[in-house]
Structure 1
Amino acid sequence: MEAADGWLVRVRPLLGRLEAAQAFLLADVAQEQGNGRIGLTNRASLQLRGFGADNARRFPDIAVAAGLGLRDAGMERRQAMLVSPLAGDDPTCAADTRACAESLRHALVGAEDLAALPGKFGFAVDGGGLYASGLLQADIVLRAVGNGLWSVVCGGAYGMPVTHKLAVEQAVRLARIYVASHQNIRPQRDPAVGARLFQLAEIPCQLETNAPMPVCAGGRQIGALGYGLFALSIPLGSMTATMLRDCATVAATQGDGVLRLTPWRSIVLGGLVQIPVVAGMVSDPTSPLLRIWACSGIQACAQAAGETEALARNLAPLLPDGASLHVSGCRKGCAHPASADYTLVAGTQGYGLVRNGSASGHVESLFDNEQAVYTAFQTFRQEGAVDASL
């Protein structure tokens, strides 16, 4: 895709796991062919930025040769899914999580009729464990419920406990019903869609009564997780090629050689005896940067009306204890569609402030320059801690 800072390319590592050798390769490519900036998305994908058109066109061949994608673009898109990042490493995560994920991946890759699904329609396999069950959000989620059984969750409804093989069959059937019924709203956007799909598929279901897990909850699990696993956060989800290379070096020389990518802007390294130190990465679970989101801003996006990342970083020390902040370059709010305690939205007249809302919410104050924003946040800090909405 072409952006304001050049072309960007996206990599979806299989089941969210990146071998150290693959990470070294991506770091080299990002630095030599792009602008050295790498983003980790909320779907645990890597985005390398600043490519020229020719290098961007050549990148798929590099990725496929490194085992980072399929040559068939349709199959590649269909195999995209979120999987519990610590499956196979965390003994408290359902033992058959990876087997369930592989079964679902094979089923989706072979289902050519599902090519009609919207581009952002997503699947997830949630085995629970250290990253609690319910953190992974998608249109169709296969969720472990104990005793080797799984439940399919779609929108605001969930199916009865079944084996993971039957859960995969139900998930694919719901997706096919979604395509056949010409739905134009995804279950993740409208919970009522899920119950309708279960009914059309003639699969018994119940309605969920619990509120969705906060999307930032997983991102706060930083540092030592147990079982030799350590999570490092990527501030604002954006890192340099050097940061990725340094993580790969730690994995290759001190750990088990694997980088586990999470949808919460963090990389988990395993097989270690102490917390690794990687310049630029956050290992302190109390850091305010874990409560801040920002898009790439005007330097990289044609939709953005102002600077975002630098502003967000500079506001971190001024953020009230427990509060969350989203700095968005426009009303779309791509970096964080949900609510935050404070949301700043760049516009033609400066930065608008939305309290306890998203980037599309009601603007209660307008600041015509960044200094005015800093002054306001100094006041917020003096007012004391807030009840965090996330």
Structure 2
Amino acid sequence: MEAADGWLVRVRPTLGRLEAAQAFLLADVARKMGNGRISLTNRASLQLRGFSADAARRFPDIAVAAGLGLADAGMERRQAMLVSPLAGDDPACAVDTVACAESLRKALIGAEALTALPGKFGFAVDGGGLYPAGLLQADIILRAVGEGQWSVVCGGMCAPPTTYAVAASQAVGLAHVFVTSHQSVRPQRNRAVGQVLFQLLGLAGELQTFAPHPVGACCGRVGPLGSALFALSAPMGCMTADMLHDCANVAAAQGDGILRLTPWHTLVLGGMAQPPVVAGMVADPHSPLLRIWACSGAGACAQAAGETEELARSLAPLLPDGAHLHVSGCRKGCAHPAATDFTLVAGGQGYGLVRNGSATGDVESLFVDDHAVYKAFELFKNEGAVDAGL
């Protein structure tokens, strides 16, 4: 995809796991072929930025040769799937999570008809554990509900979802039905669609609710996780080629050589006898940077009306305790569509402030530049985020 700062390319490691050697390669490619900027996406993928059109065309061959993609574009697209990041490492995660994920992935790759699915249609295999069941979101979710027991949730981003106790292989059947039912909306956009799909398969479901997770439930998962596992966060999902290289170096020299990607802007390193230290990555669970979202902003995105990442970083020390901040370059709110305590939206006249809302919410105050924003947040910090006379 072409962006304001050049072409960007995405890599989706199999089952969300990146070998150190692969990470070294991507860091080198990001430096030499791109602008050195790398994003961790909410689909547990890596996004490398600033490529020329020619470099972007050459990148897939490099990725495939390194085991980071499939040569068949249709197969690559169909294997879009999130998996519990600690599957196989976390004793509390369902023991058959990896086997279930590998079985589903193999079925998806072989189901040529599923190429007709919408571009962002995806699956998830959620085994729970340290990252509780219900955190992974996708169009079709296989979720562990007990020892050897799984349920299938269609439209899992809608609450309350209806779940169905079926064999894991039937999740692929649901996708086939979706293709042939000519629905105009994705299941996550309309909870009724998921129910229709199950009805077309002749399945009866039960309402099953999961306790809601607070906004920061997954973002706070940094530092030690137990069993020699440590999580590091890329602030606002942004890292440099040097940061990825250093993470790979630590993983290879001190751990098991695997970087586990999560949908929450973190990397989990395993086999670590001591906490890893990587410059630029966040390991402190109390860091305010874990409560901030920001898109790439002006200079990287043609839609953005203002700078975002540096502004967000400068506001981190001024964020009231427990509060969450989203700095968006436009009204689309790509980095965090949900509501936060403070949402700043860049526009033609400056930065609009939405409190307790999303980027599409009502603006209650307008600041002409980032200096005015900074001064306002000083007041929020000093007065406990009360009105502060704005």
Q: Please state which band the TM-score falls in when normalised by the shorter chain.
A: over 0.9
> In structure 2, how many angstroms separate the alpha carbons of the residues matched to 1:260 and 1:204?
36
The answer for the alignment partner of 1:159 in structure 2 is 163
Residue 191 of structure 1, CA deviation: 2.2
The answer for the alignment partner of 1:202 in structure 2 is 202
Residue 211 of structure 1, CA deviation: 5.9
> In structure 2, how many angstroms separate the alpha carbons of the residues matched to 1:180 and 1:215?
36
The answer for the alignment partner of 1:260 in structure 2 is 260
Instruction: Report the 3-state secondary structure (helix = DSSP H, G, I; strand = E; otherwise coil) of the residue aligned with 2:187.
Output: coil
Residue 159 of structure 1, CA deviation: 3.5
Using a 3 Å threshold, how does the CA distance of structure 1 residues 212 and 71 change in structure 2: closer, same or farther? farther
Farther off after superposition, 286-295 or 195-204: 195-204
The answer for the alignment partner of 2:80 in structure 1 is 80
> In structure 1, how many angstroms separate the alpha carbons of the residues matched to 2:208 and 2:365?
37
Asked if structure 1 preserves the Cα contact closer than 8 Å seen for 2:288 and 2:316, the reply is: yes
The answer for the alignment partner of 2:191 in structure 1 is 191
The answer for the alignment partner of 1:52 in structure 2 is 52
Using a 3 Å threshold, how does the CA distance of structure 1 residues 12 and 184 change in structure 2: closer, same or farther? same
> In structure 2, how many angstroms separate the alpha carbons of the residues matched to 1:193 and 1:383?
46
Instruction: Report the 3-state secondary structure (helix = DSSP H, G, I; strand = E; otherwise coil) of the residue aligned with 1:167.
Output: coil
Asked if structure 2 preserves the Cα contact closer than 8 Å seen for 1:40 and 1:238, the reply is: yes
Farther off after superposition, 103-112 or 259-268: 103-112
- Alignment of 1:304 onto 2:304: yes
For 1:90-239, what aligned pairs fall within 5 Å after superposition?
Answer: 90-155=90-155, 156-162=160-166, 166-169=167-170, 171-210=171-210, 212-214=212-214, 216-239=216-239
The answer for the alignment partner of 1:344 in structure 2 is 344
- Number of equivalent positions: 382
Residue 385 of structure 1, CA deviation: 6.2
Using a 3 Å threshold, how does the CA distance of structure 1 residues 180 and 215 change in structure 2: closer, same or farther? farther
The CA RMSD measured in Å over matched residues stands at 1.3
> In structure 1, how many angstroms separate the alpha carbons of the residues matched to 2:214 and 2:71?
36
> In structure 2, how many angstroms separate the alpha carbons of the residues matched to 1:349 and 1:103?
52
> In structure 2, how many angstroms separate the alpha carbons of the residues matched to 1:129 and 1:306?
40
Letter of the 1:371 partner, please give it.
H
How much identity, in percent, do the aligned residues show? 75
> In structure 2, how many angstroms separate the alpha carbons of the residues matched to 1:20 and 1:14?
14
Using a 3 Å threshold, how does the CA distance of structure 1 residues 51 and 260 change in structure 2: closer, same or farther? same
Letter of the 2:99 partner, please give it.
A
Report Cα offsets for 1:69-125 as digits up to 9, x if no partner: 001111001101100001011111111101000111111111111111111111100
Residue 210 of structure 1, CA deviation: 4.1
The answer for the alignment partner of 1:329 in structure 2 is 329
Residue 214 of structure 1, CA deviation: 4.3
Instruction: Report the 3-state secondary structure (helix = DSSP H, G, I; strand = E; otherwise coil) of the residue aligned with 1:48.
Output: strand
Asked if structure 2 preserves the Cα contact closer than 8 Å seen for 1:305 and 1:348, the reply is: yes
Q: Scaled by the length of structure 2, what TM-score is found?
A: 0.95
Instruction: Report the 3-state secondary structure (helix = DSSP H, G, I; strand = E; otherwise coil) of the residue aligned with 1:42.
Output: coil
Letter of the 2:292 partner, please give it.
I
> In structure 1, how many angstroms separate the alpha carbons of the residues matched to 2:208 and 2:164?
12
Instruction: Report the 3-state secondary structure (helix = DSSP H, G, I; strand = E; otherwise coil) of the residue aligned with 1:219.
Output: coil
> In structure 2, how many angstroms separate the alpha carbons of the residues matched to 1:46 and 1:352?
30
> In structure 1, how many angstroms separate the alpha carbons of the residues matched to 2:205 and 2:361?
34
The answer for the alignment partner of 1:24 in structure 2 is 24
Report Cα offsets for 1:328-387 as digits up to 9, x if no partner: 00111111111111111101111111111111111111111111111111111122268x
Letter of the 2:8 partner, please give it.
L
Letter of the 1:344 partner, please give it.
L
Instruction: List runs of 5+ in structure 2 lacking aligned partners.
Output: none
Asked if structure 2 preserves the Cα contact closer than 8 Å seen for 1:151 and 1:158, the reply is: no
Asked if structure 1 preserves the Cα contact closer than 8 Å seen for 2:330 and 2:347, the reply is: yes
Report Cα offsets for 1:27-83 as digits up to 9, x if no partner: 000001110000000000000000111111000000000000001111001101100
Residue 288 of structure 1, CA deviation: 0.5
Report Cα offsets for 1:205-263 as digits up to 9, x if no partner: 12344465345421211100000000000001010000000000001010000000000
Q: Scaled by the length of structure 1, what TM-score is found?
A: 0.95
Using a 3 Å threshold, how does the CA distance of structure 1 residues 77 and 238 change in structure 2: closer, same or farther? same
Instruction: Report the 3-state secondary structure (helix = DSSP H, G, I; strand = E; otherwise coil) of the residue aligned with 1:322.
Output: coil
Letter of the 1:98 partner, please give it.
V
Instruction: Report the 3-state secondary structure (helix = DSSP H, G, I; strand = E; otherwise coil) of the residue aligned with 2:224.
Output: strand
